[in-house]
Structure 1
Amino acid sequence: MTQRRMLVGRARKVAFGGIVVAAIVAGGVLARADSASPSLRQIVSYFNTIVFASELSPEMASKVVAKWQDNPVGISLSGRIKPFYIKAVERHLREITRVSGVRFKQVKPNTPNAISLYFLTRAEIMNVKGKNVDSRFIQAQMLHARCLFLAYRKPEKRIVRALIFVNVEAPDALIDSCLLEELVQSMGLPNDSNNLRPSIFSDLDHLTRLSYSDKVLLRVLYDPRLKPGTPRREALGIVAKIAAQVMGVKY
């Protein structure tokens, strides 16, 4: 489903400084961080957890690979913006592009088929209303969260819209880390797990750069050999082959 209209209180269009994150072809072996880097078996297990599981509810878990199929992907910022947020978003988008090959372009706020970031106070986020928006879900999640993302798929294999809400009352350092997490999760890696560390997917870490494991997962997801709509069991076999090449290890 796509989100048609958002009622988010104060909204202000923000220019990225002419950003269109250029395509950098993702490929080749990712340099391993150190001897403690995960094994191939661990990476496949992490992929299974992050892509095909849900910490919130089994009903929310994906049964097939889903990702953006538009390239570039539209993105907008609105709300209570300050330069630090813009620079952080630009930096994170560049890293996502370097790893995945997915490009981004600025679009107008509330544009369908795009990623929309809203920088609001907690009270404003708790009061968000709109078509196809579960207000009670947002309110429950924002009781303790600094950021929240909602992804929309149509059909199940295609991500067509993502909404990211950022609580501007949090410290800048935490906003920086949660921006990276929500942006990457909105790409098709939606779950969290404390078994994967260090990682943006762990609630125990607050990273502002992708870890080695994070890069491998994102690179594998957007490898063209892993087709959108691939069921879990079949996908994990393909993931193992791709990850072995990305990591430079024997399959």
Structure 2
Amino acid sequence: MMAATACLGLAACEPAPDRGAEADGAAARPNSAPNSSATPPVRNVGPSAESASLAAYYRRLENDLLVRGLMRTDGGGPDTPFTDTMLARNFVQIALYDEYVSTGGQLQARTTQSRLRRWDIPVRYAAEFGPGVPTGQQAEDRANVRNYVARLARVTGHPITYDESNANFHVLFLTEDDRDNIAPRLRQLVPGITDSSIRAFQTRDRGTLCLVLAFSQGGSATYTRAVALIRAEHPDLLRLSCIHEELAQGLGLANDSPAARPSIFNDDEEFGLLTTHDELLLRMLYDSRLTPGMTEAEAGPIVRRMATELVGGPV
């Protein structure tokens, strides 16, 4: 399983709207208040055969992961120690590299060196649902997003809120049927969004569990808006796992690393929810000693000092 962020994982940078915005990587996880005028009409029929088949597939996938002892929700413990050196190394790999690149109008998985990106303006999350998402599931997902947003605010110290009236980070919960008609809404949320970004949201690859695309103005390294996709066919834990990964990656942790542990920014799916290690990564990302646009050479010495302050020895 994997996840994608725009510049996917915040990974692939591509020109977008506002005077050449940059789609900075998402976190698509492969087999790893909305404007009412833009909301598709409510359907009076049940899910399509394709959507029902996906729901059955994802139930089997979640069960398989749990049987194998994966998708842990404990945040890490004595069996997952890490040192300041490991934390600093993981930060560099996750925050200063991209997971995807845009080539020929397509997003391709390829780890490349990048620069530090994050939000300087307040982040305002809002959950939005396609007409195919059951009402009860909507209430559960909205509550989970609200609770997680409060946690992200505490961890980062950045102004982060849940605000459906003036959102700049939209979390879209969509069924397979809903995604077919999502292009107009995406163009409304991100004026000038590229066709490749829209195709990423409409992919038929069931290995893409969820993704997030974050955008910046021109060549800036500061984000101004983001849009996440979470498949509504996922069972409860997979949906919650997608919320944790995509909403955090959309803040600037664009890449995944096989060495990161305990972490959700690792495609091995050992952990399903944000860990104590990941909280430290977010805290470092929004530390005032770092600034958007920093390269690995510029940020590295500061990151190592911060990691020593936070961890010191094994945790």
Which of 126, 135, 148 matches 1:92? Answer: 148
Contact 1:54 1:191 in 2 (8 A): yes
Q: List alignment gaps of at least 5 residues for structure 1.
A: 12-31
Higher relative CO (Cα under 8 Å, sequence separation at least 6) belongs to 2
Return the offset for 1:165: 0.9
1:94 counterpart letter in structure 2: A
Equivalent residue for 1:28? none
Contact 2:212 2:226 in 1 (8 A): yes
Aligned counterparts of 1:196 and 1:92: Cα–Cα separation in 2: 21
Return the offset for 1:126: 5.1
Equivalent residue for 1:135? 198
Equivalent residue for 1:147? 210
Aligned counterparts of 2:288 and 2:210: Cα–Cα separation in 1: 30
Q: Deviations over 1:47-104 (max 9, x none)?
A: 1211122333387846321111013x11211113622101211221122122111232
Contact 1:8 1:125 in 2 (8 A): no
Given the two structures, how large is their TM-score scaled by the length of structure 2? 0.63
CA RMSD of aligned residues (A): 3.1
Map of 1:193-212 to 2, 5 A cutoff?
193-205=257-269, 207=271, 209-212=273-276
Q: How many matched pairs? A: 227
Equivalent residue for 1:182? 246
Which of 174, 187, 210 matches 1:120? Answer: 174
Structure 2 vs 1, CA of residues 66 and 96 (structure 1 numbering), >3 Å: closer, same or farther? same
Which of 128, 143, 149 matches 1:78? Answer: 128
Other structure's SS at 2:128 match: strand
Return the offset for 1:44: 1.8
Return the offset for 1:8: 6.7
Given the two structures, how large is their TM-score scaled by the length of structure 1? 0.78
Worse-matched range after superposition: 205-214 or 177-186: 205-214
Map of 1:1-251 to 2, 5 A cutoff?
1-2=16-17, 9=40, 33-34=77-78, 36-57=80-101, 61=112, 63-71=114-122, 73-79=123-129, 80=133, 82-108=138-164, 114-125=168-179, 127-129=181-183, 130=187, 131-133=192-194, 134-140=197-203, 142-154=205-217, 155-205=219-269, 207=271, 209-249=273-313
Aligned counterparts of 1:163 and 1:142: Cα–Cα separation in 2: 19
Q: List alignment gaps of at least 5 residues for structure 2.
A: 1-15, 22-33, 43-75, 102-108
Structure 2 vs 1, CA of residues 92 and 106 (structure 1 numbering), >3 Å: closer, same or farther? closer
Other structure's SS at 1:118 match: strand
Return the offset for 1:142: 4.8
Contact 1:220 1:242 in 2 (8 A): yes
Aligned counterparts of 2:305 and 2:111: Cα–Cα separation in 1: 27
Structure 2 vs 1, CA of residues 205 and 193 (structure 1 numbering), >3 Å: closer, same or farther? same
2:193 counterpart letter in structure 1: N
Contact 1:54 1:60 in 2 (8 A): yes
Q: Deviations over 1:130-160 (max 9, x none)?
A: 2314223334485312211001012431011
Bigger strand fraction:
2
The percentage of aligned residue pairs carrying the same residue is 26
Return the offset for 1:230: 1.4
Contact 1:177 1:208 in 2 (8 A): yes
Structure 2 vs 1, CA of residues 55 and 227 (structure 1 numbering), >3 Å: closer, same or farther? closer
Larger Rg: 2
Structure 2 vs 1, CA of residues 10 and 54 (structure 1 numbering), >3 Å: closer, same or farther? farther
